[in-house]
């Protein structure tokens, strides 16, 4: 998750738990020369959705699906290179509005017990859920630096848009959704990862001030970009 104050904060999911193996079949690890740096979500057999601020030259990227433990060579995992990238045309790197990017895998995934695309929301739809879940491999302590080896989840409540916009002094657009409570949050290493409500992908981990603080985490609202996603999948 990017820190809008201009710096990046440590990679972490705070206040979460280890998820059951193979339970988050759409979870992608986006890796560069130094290893895992962002999460992503499999939205169809050949495309992964992530945050635009996770952009990196595609020639250096590896995407791994079916992965549970970052430190192991797991038989369920599938590795891919990236052959095409599409940033949302209205992405603003300063405000992080429309913080979304699609990455095309060099071949389609093999759908297995560990790998399967996520369920997408309808364009422009709204949702209600007492708790949603964000996923990632971030560190698990506010003063920690090492990534969690195993995939983590954190169950967090959605924060009212008006309240969140007030806390962030007007920085929250209609294309963002806020969630989190003190001691439960996501941060930069979890950027681009899925935010799921009632089994449906509703957000992309995007940004926030600090981690697990009084400020909620901010997620790109997937229902507002579904039409763009489907258009890219159709033309590329």
Active site residue 53: yes
Q: Which of 11, 29, 36, 53 is catalytic?
A: 53
Cα–chain-centroid distance for residue 87?
A: 15
C-alpha–C-alpha distance, residues 120 and 143, integer Å:
35
Q: Which helix (DSSP H) or strand (DSSP E) does residue 86 occupy?
A: strand 82-87
Q: Under a CB-based contact definition with an 8 Å cutoff, are residues 194 and 135 in contact?
A: yes
Q: What span, in angstroms and rounded, lies between the C-alpha atoms of 15 and 31?
A: 24
Strands 78-80 and 152-156: unpaired
Catalytic residue among 99, 185, 190, 206: 99
Cα gap 15→183, rounded to integer Å:
6
Spatial CA neighbour of 41 closest among 142, 117, 131, 107? 117
Longest Cα separation, the chain = 47
Compute how many other C-beta atoms are within 10 angstroms of the C-beta atom of residue 170: 7
Q: How far is CA 132 from CA 11, 103, 159, 195, in A?
A: 20, 25, 11, 7
- Residue of 126, 133, 216 whose CA lies nearest to 180: 216
Q: Is 155 labeled as catalytic in the residue annotation?
A: no
Q: What CA–CA distance (Å, rounded) separates 52 from 98? A: 8
User: Is residue 99 annotated as part of the catalytic site, yes or no?
Assistant: yes
Active site residues: 53, 99, 191
């Amino acid at each position: 998750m990017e820190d809008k104050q201009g710096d990046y904060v440590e990679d972490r999911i705070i206040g979460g738990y280890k998820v059951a193996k193979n339970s988050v079949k759409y979870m992608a690890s986006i890796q560069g020369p130094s290893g895992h740096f962002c999460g992503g979500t499999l939205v169809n057999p050949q495309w992964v959705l992530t945050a635009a601020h996770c952009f990196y030259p595609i020639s250096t990227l590896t995407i791994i699906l079916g992965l549970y433990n970052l430190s192991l060579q797991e038989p369920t995992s599938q590795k891919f290179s990236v052959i095409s990238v599409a940033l949302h045309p209205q992405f603003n790197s300063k405000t992080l509005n429309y913080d979304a990017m699609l990455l095309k895998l060099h071949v389609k995934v093999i759908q297995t017990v560990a790998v399967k695309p996520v369920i997408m929301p309808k364009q422009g739809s709204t949702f209600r859920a007492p708790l949603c879940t964000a996923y990632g491999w971030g560190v698990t302590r506010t003063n920690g630096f090492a990534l969690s080896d195993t995939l983590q989840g954190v169950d967090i409540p959605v924060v009212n848009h008006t309240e969140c916009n007030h806390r962030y002094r007007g920085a929250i657009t209609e294309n963002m959704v806020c969630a989190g409570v003190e001691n439960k949050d996501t941060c930069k290493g979890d950027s681009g990862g899925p935010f799921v409500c009632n089994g449906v992908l509703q957000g992309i981990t995007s940004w926030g001030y600090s981690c697990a603080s009084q400020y909620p985490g901010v997620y790109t609202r997937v229902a507002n970009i579904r039409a763009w996603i489907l258009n890219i999948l159709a033309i590329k």
